[in-house]
Amino acid sequence: MADSLPTVEFYEGIVETIDNVSLRRDRGTGDRTMLLTFNRLRAIEQFQSFRSRFAKALKLIDEEGTITIEPEDIRFIFGGPEGDDLQRVECTLVTDRDDHWDRLMRFMERYAQANSMAYGESPQADGLS
């Protein structure tokens, strides 16, 4: 898998694009949360989800291999004049294990580099770091 571009899939073979990432740590429990935001899902737009196999988990694929992780939560946010336009999808990943978090972060660093994403502090402080 050397030199392959990092990809994200909900459905096998349908590559999705992450539009935003938010990282948090709960000081009370030590749990780390990664919130991935997708402004669109190709599988839904192209109705390919009916022809492709649902992974039952989010698949993050890079040169180290495949991370298969079941999201803690997936939220579909709708808007528009009729309230039925998909505005974004938020996918929450949670882990309390350092080795799992480290692997997720290595994937995200590769993904960010391959997709010209940059790290920036959130303008809103929510008490989590």
Tell me the pLDDT tens digit for each residue of 65-123: 999 999 999 898 999 899 888 899 999 999 999 999 999 999 999 999 999 988 766 65
More confident residue, 57 or 94: 94
Mean of pLDDT values over 43-64? 72
Q: Residue 20, Cα to own-chain centre: how many angstroms?
A: 8
Question: Is the C-alpha dihedral spanning 88, 60, 28, 127 positive or negative?
Answer: negative
Higher pLDDT pick, 128 / 26: 26
7-114 folds as Elongation Factor Tu (Ef-tu); domain 3 (2.40.30)
